[in-house]
Amino acid sequence: MKAIYLKGYRDFRRKYFRNHKKLFSELAEGQKPHTMVITCSDSRVNASLILNSKPGELFITRNIGNVVPPYEVTKGATQSAIEYAVNVLKIPNLVVLGHSSCGACAHLYHEKSDDEEEIELNHVDKWLTLIYPAKHEAILEALNTDEKNIFEITEKNNIKLSLQRLMTYPYIVRALEVGKLELHGWWYNIKEGKLEVYDYKSKNFVPISHYHSHK
């Protein structure tokens, strides 16, 4: 095993675990996270770090492209996580967290070179067909506005698409209707370390501080 893992583990035991022993004993009894985060597998996006949260606070599911598949009963990992979070843990907040420089969104525009034809990407290609509508809308938007960063538009559309897809889950709609759940869409700028939040009113992403001052 690489030394880096052991060093990290030792540091965790000596520092974080030692300083949070009470928290870990409480967590051993059960979890009551306040927020579910559906985010990208990308190694640069770390929801716990961005939100400075402790273990037990965030229920996180990750996949390539922070995709929410349409509601249907399949063997889906993402659907299972959402179902458990909303129906069993009764989590009051659900956030779709996308990000800048998302490889999944960029992949939609990538044309394979001859060398790349050999690389197996059968699952990735098939999985990402779920977010084609985000690309199609981005192309239209880029053609008709001054905004030229088509990747960023696609990333943000993809977050909106995931929010829309969540509305195909009957139990989510019910929880929203009775005020037991809130849905949010966030876009994380990796270089700046900043979050933008989807504003349902203006239908734009705005800095998170701006959003809260309007609520």
**Cβ–Cβ < 8 Å for 73, 171:** no
Closer to Zn ion by Cβ: residue 6 or 121: 121
Decide if residue 42 touches Zn ion (CB under 5 A). Answer: yes
Shortest distance, position 34 Cβ to Zn ion, whole Å: 24
Least distance from Zn ion to the Cβ atom of residue 170, Å: 28
SS3 197: strand
Region binding Zn ion by CB under 5 A among candidate stretches 23-31, 80-88, 99-107, 138-146: 99-107
Residue of 102, 150, 161, 183 interacting with Zn ion (CB under 5 A): 102
Q: Of 30-38, 94-102, 143-151, 193-201, which segment contacts Zn ion by CB under 5 A?
A: 94-102
Using alpha carbons only, what angle is made at residue 192 by residues 190 and 196, rounded to the nearest 5 degrees?
A: 80
Nearer to Zn ion, 26 or 125 (CB): 125
The distance of closest approach from Cβ of residue 102 to Zn ion in the complex, given in angstroms and rounded to an integer, is 3
Supply the minimum distance, in Å, between the C-beta of residue 80 and Zn ion.
21
Q: Is 70 left (phi over 0), alpha (psi -120 to 50) or beta?
A: beta
**Window of 16-24, 41-49, 78-86, 168-176 that interacts with Zn ion by CB under 5 A:** 41-49
Based on CB atoms, which residue is closest to Zn ion, 42 or 152?
42
- Estimate to the nearest angstrom the gap between the alpha carbon of 40 and the chain centroid: 5
68 binds Zn ion (CB under 5 A): no
CA distances from 84 to 36, 37, 142, 168 (A): 10, 13, 38, 16
Strand order in the sheet with 58-63: 58-63, 35-40, 93-99, 182-189, 194-199, 204-207
Q: Kindly tell me the burial class for residue 192, based on how many C-beta atoms sit within 10 Å of its own C-beta (0-12, 13-18, 19 or more).
A: exposed
- Does 40 engage in binding with Zn ion (CB under 5 A)? yes
Packed helices 132-144 and 150-166: angle between N→C axes, nearest 10 degrees: 130
**Does position 196 bind Zn ion by CB under 5 A?**
no
Residue 37 within binding range of Zn ion, rule CB under 5 A: no
In whole angstroms, how close is the CB of 146 to Zn ion at the nearest point?
25
CA distance 142 to 99: 19
Chain residues binding Zn ion by CB under 5 A are: 40, 42, 102, 104
